[in-house]
Chain A
Amino acid sequence: MTRVGVVTFPGSLDDGDARRAVRLAGADPVRLWHGDADLQGVDAVVLPGGFSYGDYLRCGAIAALSPIMTEVVAAADRGTPVLGICNGFQMLTEAHLLPGGLVRNDHGAFVCRDQRLRVERTGTAWTNAFEQDEEIVVPLKNGEGGFTADADTIARLEGDGRVVFRYLDVDPNGSVNRIAGIANERGNVVGLMPHPEHAVEPGFGPDTPAAMRSGVDGLRIFRSALQALLAA
């Protein structure tokens, strides 16, 4: 069975939920510890959401210096699928696996809402199970979710089709060009601010017109990784 590692840092909050998502997607979740420079041979890695190190210094900054991160960087270079969710996305930018940075939401507050997104790049390890331009709903919850980068970087991301998810309808945090998630050049590393692991199980996801809390759009992000690995 495919093994997907989920790293726990001090202050990680959604690691358990990420493991559940991996399990529901049909893979074997593996607990990885920040202090061990050891990925235990997993096939893919998830850096989960949370407030690692209390967001001290900068979100994800200290976590990005953990022993396990050298292994994550090496694995990413080898083409291993790596997903950074929220705080995990912040770690990926701090570790320079992804460009740009995340800053405080423009309105200054923490916001938790069911966010509409458009999937703009299906050719990544984490989005191949979606249709091009498919619109999905995934919970978003953070205070420092504003994606930013200099004009050249933004132009490059847009031009190369590396914007993977874009915010629709409501702009929840002032991200440049409403960018919700991006990929590296190769497409194996993806970072996004919304939390797909909170839209994987009927009864516990966003409301849909069909039924309360029935949204499970996030599940296919995890299923995509399995598909990518099988195809590799």
Chain B
Amino acid sequence: MPVIVVEVMPKAELLDPQGKAVAGALHRLGRTAFGGVRVGKRFELTVEGPVTDAVLAEAREVAESLLANLVIEDVVGVRELTTAELEDRLDAEVGA
């Protein structure tokens, strides 16, 4: 079954304490190659049937009304997983 991925990030202008904490941990571990970290959420929505434009639009609606609180977050991505990504996902489930 197809899967739509929605990505939500905290609004850029807001402080991201989790990101800050993770960045601090990275630096303490000597990983100075990385500057900052921001932490968001990734949702995977399983779709009954094919992913049409209407379905994608509905996913975006759901993303903006429920999955994200637009006062404090932005929806930065709504897309369908590719066939290759779907296969990797199934492999990970069964074999690992």
> Chain A: residues with CB nearer than 8 A to chain B?
57-58, 61, 65, 93-94, 99-101, 103-108, 146, 148-150, 174
Contacts and interface: CB of A to CB of B under 8 A. Distances in A.
Contact of B71 (A57, A149, A174): A149
Contact of B15 (A99, A101, A146, A150): A146
Interface stretch (B16-24, B27-35, B44-52, B83-91): B16-24
B14 interface: yes
Given A57-B66, A149-B71, 18 more contacts: A65-B66, A93-B71, A94-B69, A99-B71, A101-B69, A103-B15, A103-B17, A104-B18, A105-B17, A106-B15, A106-B17, A107-B17, A108-B18, A146-B15, A146-B17, A148-B72, A150-B13, A174-B15
B67 interface: yes
Nearest to A107: B17
* Range of interface residues on B (Cβ < 8 Å): 10 to 19
Interface string B64-96: 001101011000000000000000000000000
A contact patch SS: loop
Contact of A58 (B17, B18, B69): B69
A99 B72 CA distance: 11
A148 B14 contact: yes
A148 B21 CA distance: 19
Given A103-B10, A146-B15, A174-B15, A108 B20 contact: yes
A174 B15 CA distance: 9
Contacts of B14: 103, 148
Nearest to B71: A101
B54 to A, nearest CB: 23
A149 B17 CA distance: 16
13 contacts: A57-B66, A93-B71, A99-B71, A101-B69, A105-B17, A106-B17, A108-B18, A108-B20, A108-B21, A148-B14, A148-B71, A150-B13, A174-B17
B74 to A, nearest CB: 13
Contacts of B10: 103
A61 B69 contact: yes
B66 to A, nearest CB: 8
B17 A108 contact: yes
A148 B17 CA distance: 13
Contacts of A107: 17
